[in-house]
Structure 1
Amino acid sequence: MINNLNLVDRLFESYNYKIARTSTNDVRIYTLQYGMYHAAEIISFDKAIDVSKFKNEFSELGYATDVKVVKNLEEVEEYLFEGFFIKTPLGNELKNRYKNFVKKQLSNLPENSQYKYIDSDFDLILQNNLGEITEAKSYSSKDHSIITKINELFTKTAGALFIIIEAPAGFGKTCTANEILNCITVENSKILPFFTELSRNREARVFKHILLSEIDSQFPNGIKQNVVLEQIYKGRIPLIIDGFDELITKDSNKEDVESMLTTIVDLLQNDAKIVITSRKTAILNSEEFIETINSSIENFSLARFEIKEPTIENWLNPNRLKAILENEFPISQISNPVLLSYLRNIPLEKLEDFLTTSEGTLIDKYFDYLLTREQERQNLKLDNQTQFRVFRKLNRFMSEFNFTAETKETIKDFLKEYNIQILQESIKQYKEKDIKPSIDELTETLSNHVFLDRKTDGNIGFINDFIFGFLISENLILEKFQEHYKGNFTRVIPQDFAQKSLEASRVQSISNKNKLWEVYNEHDFGYDSVFYFDADYFLKNEIKRNFKTLFLSDRTIKNLLFTKYSFENCVFAGITFENCTFSTSTFKKSSFQNCKFYNCILQDKTSIIYDDFGIYVCQDNNDLIKEINSLYCKDNDKNEDESDNSLTEQKVLLQFLQVDEKRPKPRKFSVIKQRLSEYSDKEINNIIDSLIRKGYLHFKDDVGFITREAMNFLNHNGN
């Protein structure tokens, strides 16, 4: 017999059961009523007890009865969870969700295509519930899969676990989220993942309400929200939240961001497991993020994954890659997962034909394939350009009202209202032998277009950022925004929408890249300096302006000249520079933090002040950093070697601790410099560089983390 019957009773009551008056200490009877359906659970604590009279009594009263013999409270919990979550339509839906995702991925590809998750290199920082870094490592996709690593963390991490997966657009965040879902199968484990794909909705404002609303809508009717939350805390319902950054805009205030982070942290109790995916955003390195995580890190472990850019070798087999290289095809025209997925699956002879035909760019051919097939698939009497026209309008509508998904009815209403003449003309194209659709039927067809996708919450949006960004760029190049919004068009496009247009335009023709660059540079959109750096780099592959207070983080920059335009008060954090040329005289009060320089060179070799071109914890594959160090003015050192109060490793490490000097706390590099302002930047850098080499510190972008080894060092040196 279970010692505490009150706990059993409360557990059943949390699932809306009522305790039958005929219950005894040996046999508990719980009844549940849903409309016309009445059920009775007869729970026995000893299999030797005869429960037949109870079963007969409630069966005669019209109850569907079930008898369960249990040994302990855990068995009761498991029984109820399986009955209300696993063995429900939701459990079956979960099995099909991944299949439906794969089906969507294949919908834009030729027949007989096969879906395959593309592994990429990735970085991992693992922080335990003491705040210590226990692992900071880069993994190669040749040897390790990010999915395998995440699965290991799920099964081996004791207590709550918070996993953040970061990557730029198109690097596979959503695919990774769905692969994680696929690993957590109902058949192999008694847990039920909750998966939601966030999108910016005009009505959505408070993240906590969005998340709780999603929970309410996805779980069975009659299940109290607190029951679901309790199962989340126990780890039976892991949360997978795809597109966390969708709710963060340039205008998001500090309170909104803190509220979003606090909502997630509040769920990280007991054995909860939460995964979020996000674009690379400064929010996840902000003081707000550091403070929110740090205030409750003792409750959970934190794993931060960063997916690196998939290589063409990851996507294409040797035969296809050989064809591309032999035809000297510009790699930049295919460095996009949408196109790479297409090239991976088209017949090899068709690929070779694409490579040898000069008419149109590869992206033109891809869209021609996609939209022509749409005419056949849906018996759509709209030529390709008209289809583009319809969805450029929808794209402008989404930009104006700043949303990425809406209800299907809203999307259909828009398609109908703003394209009525196009739809009427289309209907005339149907021949007598065809079944001529009505306006409403044609609108329904367009709402199922290959460009669109139904999100987890049932809303409709564009199928991916590439299509969305491409249509933004088309609207600007063709001056559609300018035409419809006159002098106000620069205020209609949110910066993150414009950013998608830059990333999508990397595969555009040189002519279209130039046109888009001119639009962004001839008008004042009010975007930040990072956007304009990206516009120069993605569209021109050269710097075209002076920069002030630019903070650039965590990306790879190739074949760029930093020699003509000036950089003042700029910070480069976690950047990998490949084949770049620098002129130290173009930089003032700027720094490079945790950067890598591969095959980079200096153009001039004049003396420089450390504060103007500071190198902090960087590495190279030649003598570039050594060469830069030799150019620093000697009087810049503040005579630190002669000072009685010279900076020590211990003093630097103490800056990465809480006020009590007992627990770790991540710190932004700028904060460390401020706290150690009595010392020169060069002296600070030398000590930090030494600590990194010893494995005592690890930097992610401009944020430093103390390791477990460093804590041992401090504990043995009088701290």
Structure 2
Amino acid sequence: MDIYLKQKLTEVYKSYGFTLAKSYETDEVLVFTLKTGYFDNADIVPTNQKSNSDQAFKEFSDSGFACTIRPYMSPLQAEQQLFNGFFSVESVLARLSNDYHRFTNAIVSVFSSEAKYEYINAPYLINGRMGMQSPADEVISRIEIKKPTLFLIEAAAGFGKTCAAYELVNKLTKKGGVLPLFSELARNRQAVIFRHILLDEIDHTFPMLSSRLVQNEMRNGRVITILDGFDELLRKNEDGSEFENHEPMLETIGEFLTGNAKIVLTTRRTILFEGDAFHNWVDKHTDDFDLIRIKISEPRVADWLPESRLSALSDTGLKVEHIANPVLLSYLRCISDDKFSEVASKPHELVERYFEFMLDRETIRQDLRISQARQQRILKSIAEDMMNFGYTSESRDYIVDQIARDNSRLIEDAIASYPPGQRPTKDEVANKLASHALLDRNIREPDKIGFVNEFVFGHFVAQVITKDREWISDDLRFIEPAVISYQPRSFQAKEKLWHSLESSLEFLSASDKVDFSAKLLGSVTFDLKNDEAQGIDFTDIQIGAGKIDSFQFNECVFRRCSFDLRNLSNVTFLNCKYYDCSILESNAGGPIHELGGTGDDAIIEMLTKSTIATAISITPDRQQLIERAVLERFWPVGRDTVTHKHRPIKGICAGLGEFKNGEVLDTITVLKRKDILRVPHQSSFVEINFEKILEIRDILGRTGSVNGN
């Protein structure tokens, strides 16, 4: 018997809980046994195509084992067969495929019985560069790479994260060879430690298998982990303390990123993935796993609507880019031609027409004899309960009880409108309302109910906020959907929401406040000082309408924006993009630093000239000190080797408090011009050029090795 083959087969079967019960050397047969409850199972495995399994089969059958004679297989084939059997691959893939079709059908069926779902690819960046495929295809193309990989798919609320996750799951089920472990993390709020949540999701998805076995196949790359809504885990829990420290959360993810593991996280843009701690963690594990960051932008209206409908809307004078919301675009794409003509005749009433359409449809679909206005009041009461008690989905029983309790008079009036012999009970009406098209039944947990999407949720949240001026919260789960829902509305409506949010905005980050001001007011008129904005998409905004001092814009996009540099001083634009922008006044109020910008070269050049014109001169001695401080971020004091090949620019600036941020950024630019630092695959990073190691040693006064990570 081949000793190597015997050893490898034994390792494979042991990984699935089997025991090598007997080896028939003459017959060249191995017997592996597994006890599951009352049943004793035996796999009879030949190690040669001419092996004789008769004796092994008889002996173990006579001993009470349920025996299966396997064909001659390589260890890899045996492992794949065990995986298919234990994980019930065919049935799981069929269930995931059904989940996908139910999910997509639920999106379009509310508009028309003839509407067909189609995934519309929005513009996206992959590691800072424009993507050319789709987020799902980007992941698929890297599945076979023999290195663990962490994929981050980031987007604003309501802009396609869950659709992208389902699209990936669907493509993986068709591809075969791997099994998606797909979970919507927003649904699990019981555990308070990320590791426990992940293990709970494993047990929920594969209840008959040991967690150890599933984790092993995750590391082997056969189980692709897709965790949708990762940002939900970062918010505060009920007692007000942080969910958990970021570092343990990252380290837990890192523990699974071994072997050939692939983990996909969909998330809103969050500080966890922007801070220096995250970049340091990634930098530390550069050789351990790859990081692929996919950032989904707003959808292009032209990709959603046929030319005829796009032209009809444009002819009315509507700025079509203002309706770049997937919910409204799905509505405009899927409704009938007659209904579209009706909507296009009054484009300023688009949002109202959408809700009228959905609410009117419910009265027919469910024989729901409740007016549109009263349906809105009932749905608003659900949103208000969510806001008061801090949840976004709850059990069906709870939602039915809340509807009946808080809307008793409305339900009684509805019951009275039915003919005497056909009147439903109060519970029956409440159950109908809990099945409303604007509410969501989770496919994986049908007992859980929330709103169907962020846009609809935000509509009713905003109604509560604008009515209750005393409502104050820093919970972005409610504020962000309200802002997104009001973006396509009139300026008066958006301004009203802004004033209603003013007290809450004081508790939010400067980045969120700037973002919401740009979305609702179309301007940022308040002063910005000693802070930063991260990943904001500015369109038709004047930058510098208010004073901006000691402020940094990180990875922001400026479309058709104008810059009044007179009001800018010590302002940094790091890895930003500029399209069709202009400069109103080129004489800056103080130093401006532009690094890693792309797009409109003329704007970048003018910002760079402004830096040169206003920068405070640095003495040679101070310049040398700053260069040393920057390079020590790569080669720390007391270390014999270069410990970091590349570092994030933002991370280099952090912690160098003795030097001004602008001085550090200017020095990075100087070191890049000297070719001591270079730009790697991501423009937000710089890396050491080891060909210049002698110059680096001279600046640092070192004599150590050059070998680093």
Normalising by structure 1, report the TM-score: 0.85
Match of 2:273 among 273, 284, 294: 284
CA distance in 2, matches of 1:704, 1:297: 13
Over aligned residues, Cα RMSD in angstroms? Answer: 3.5
Q: Which residue is 2:397 aligned to?
A: 409
**Shift in CA distance, 41/424, structure 1 to aligned 2, threshold 3 Å:** farther
Kindly indicate whether residue 225 of structure 2 is the aligned counterpart of residue 239 of structure 1.
yes
Match of 2:442 among 452, 455, 459: 455
SS of corresponding position for 1:461: strand
SS of corresponding position for 2:266: strand
Q: Is the 8 A contact 2:193 2:243 kept in 1?
A: no
**Shift in CA distance, 598/80, structure 1 to aligned 2, threshold 3 Å:** closer
Q: Which residue is 2:298 aligned to?
A: 309
**Shift in CA distance, 490/645, structure 1 to aligned 2, threshold 3 Å:** closer
SS of corresponding position for 2:287: helix
- The amino acid across from 1:543 in the alignment is V
Match of 2:478 among 483, 487, 497: 497
Q: Per-residue CA shift, 1:469-492, capped at 9, x if unaligned?
A: 22111111233xx5xxxx5x314x
**Where do 1:366-405 residues align within 5 Å?**
366-405=354-393
Higher mean Cα deviation, 8-17 or 327-336?
8-17
CA distance in 2, matches of 1:549, 1:190: 51
**Shift in CA distance, 650/114, structure 1 to aligned 2, threshold 3 Å:** farther
SS of corresponding position for 1:638: coil
Kindly indicate whether residue 456 of structure 2 is the aligned counterpart of residue 473 of structure 1.
no
CA distance in 1, matches of 2:191, 2:374: 32
CA distance in 2, matches of 1:670, 1:385: 52
Q: Per-residue CA shift, 1:133-161, capped at 9, x if unaligned?
A: xxx53235xxx334333221112x22211
Q: Which residue is 1:664 aligned to?
A: 645
CA distance in 1, matches of 2:13, 2:396: 38
**Shift in CA distance, 684/555, structure 1 to aligned 2, threshold 3 Å:** same
Give the C-alpha shift of residue 380 in structure 1.
2.3
Q: Is the 8 A contact 1:265 1:293 kept in 2?
A: no
- The amino acid across from 1:562 in the alignment is I
- The amino acid across from 2:497 in the alignment is L
Give the C-alpha shift of residue 362 in structure 1.
0.6
Q: Which residue is 2:576 aligned to?
A: 595
Q: Is the 8 A contact 1:199 1:243 kept in 2?
A: yes
CA distance in 1, matches of 2:143, 2:432: 42
- The amino acid across from 1:226 in the alignment is R
SS of corresponding position for 2:260: coil
**Where do 1:540-619 residues align within 5 Å?**
540-606=521-587, 608-610=589-591, 613-619=592-598
**Shift in CA distance, 514/692, structure 1 to aligned 2, threshold 3 Å:** farther
Match of 1:248 among 210, 214, 234: 234
Kindly indicate whether residue 125 of structure 2 is the aligned counterpart of residue 137 of structure 1.
no
Q: Which residue is 1:128 aligned to?
A: none
CA distance in 2, matches of 1:212, 1:231: 14
Give the C-alpha shift of residue 366 in structure 1.
0.7
CA distance in 2, matches of 1:633, 1:465: 45
Q: Per-residue CA shift, 1:365-388, capped at 9, x if unaligned?
A: 111111211222222233222222
Match of 1:684 among 631, 652, 667: 667
**Shift in CA distance, 302/623, structure 1 to aligned 2, threshold 3 Å:** closer
**Shift in CA distance, 662/563, structure 1 to aligned 2, threshold 3 Å:** closer
Match of 1:351 among 325, 335, 340: 340
Give the C-alpha shift of residue 502 in structure 1.
0.9
CA distance in 2, matches of 1:119, 1:716: 47
Q: Which residue is 2:251 aligned to?
A: 262
Q: Which residue is 1:51 aligned to?
A: 53
Kindly indicate whether residue 113 of structure 2 is the aligned counterpart of residue 116 of structure 1.
no
**Shift in CA distance, 667/259, structure 1 to aligned 2, threshold 3 Å:** same
Kindly indicate whether residue 204 of structure 2 is the aligned counterpart of residue 217 of structure 1.
yes
Give the C-alpha shift of residue 699 in structure 1.
5.2
**Shift in CA distance, 348/404, structure 1 to aligned 2, threshold 3 Å:** same
Q: Is the 8 A contact 1:233 1:271 kept in 2?
A: yes
Give the C-alpha shift of residue 630 in structure 1.
4.9
SS of corresponding position for 1:299: coil
SS of corresponding position for 1:706: strand
Q: Is the 8 A contact 1:46 1:69 kept in 2?
A: no
SS of corresponding position for 1:545: coil
- The amino acid across from 2:380 in the alignment is R
Match of 2:102 among 87, 100, 111: 100
Q: Is the 8 A contact 1:31 1:41 kept in 2?
A: yes
Match of 1:191 among 165, 170, 178: 178
Q: Which residue is 2:154 aligned to?
A: 166
Q: Is the 8 A contact 1:45 1:69 kept in 2?
A: no
**Shift in CA distance, 218/669, structure 1 to aligned 2, threshold 3 Å:** closer
Q: Which residue is 2:702 aligned to?
A: none
- The amino acid across from 2:472 in the alignment is T
CA distance in 2, matches of 1:39, 1:93: 27
Give the C-alpha shift of residue 312 in structure 1.
0.8
Normalising by structure 2, report the TM-score: 0.86
Q: Is the 8 A contact 1:122 1:306 kept in 2?
A: yes
- The amino acid across from 2:98 in the alignment is N
**Shift in CA distance, 298/580, structure 1 to aligned 2, threshold 3 Å:** same
SS of corresponding position for 2:149: strand
CA distance in 1, matches of 2:671, 2:682: 10
- The amino acid across from 1:138 in the alignment is M
Give the C-alpha shift of residue 262 in structure 1.
1.8
Give the C-alpha shift of residue 116 in structure 1.
0.9
- The amino acid across from 2:180 in the alignment is P
Give the C-alpha shift of residue 79 in structure 1.
1.7
CA distance in 2, matches of 1:361, 1:61: 77
Q: Per-residue CA shift, 1:647-690, capped at 9, x if unaligned?
A: 99999677456753154242343634765949935742533664
* Residue ranges of structure 1 left out of the alignment (5+ in a row): 126-135
Match of 2:71 among 69, 75, 78: 69
Q: Per-residue CA shift, 1:88-124, capped at 9, x if unaligned?
A: 6323312322222222222332221111111122222
**Shift in CA distance, 42/409, structure 1 to aligned 2, threshold 3 Å:** farther
CA distance in 2, matches of 1:384, 1:706: 60
Higher mean Cα deviation, 542-551 or 317-326?
542-551
Give the C-alpha shift of residue 586 in structure 1.
2.0
CA distance in 2, matches of 1:106, 1:429: 31
Higher mean Cα deviation, 444-453 or 520-529?
520-529
Q: Is the 8 A contact 1:656 1:664 kept in 2?
A: yes
Q: Which residue is 2:488 aligned to?
A: 507
What percent identity do the matched residue pairs reach? 26
SS of corresponding position for 1:569: strand
Q: Is the 8 A contact 1:173 1:277 kept in 2?
A: yes
Q: Is the 8 A contact 2:135 2:153 kept in 1?
A: no
Q: Is the 8 A contact 2:152 2:293 kept in 1?
A: yes
Higher mean Cα deviation, 555-564 or 360-369?
555-564
CA distance in 2, matches of 1:233, 1:715: 41
- The amino acid across from 2:415 in the alignment is I
**Shift in CA distance, 39/441, structure 1 to aligned 2, threshold 3 Å:** farther
Give the C-alpha shift of residue 561 in structure 1.
2.1
* Residue ranges of structure 2 left out of the alignment (5+ in a row): 698-705
Q: Per-residue CA shift, 1:486-524, capped at 9, x if unaligned?
A: x5x314x61342122111110223332122112112667
Q: Is the 8 A contact 2:472 2:503 kept in 1?
A: no
Higher mean Cα deviation, 361-370 or 35-44?
35-44
- The amino acid across from 1:235 in the alignment is G
Q: Which residue is 1:3 aligned to?
A: 3
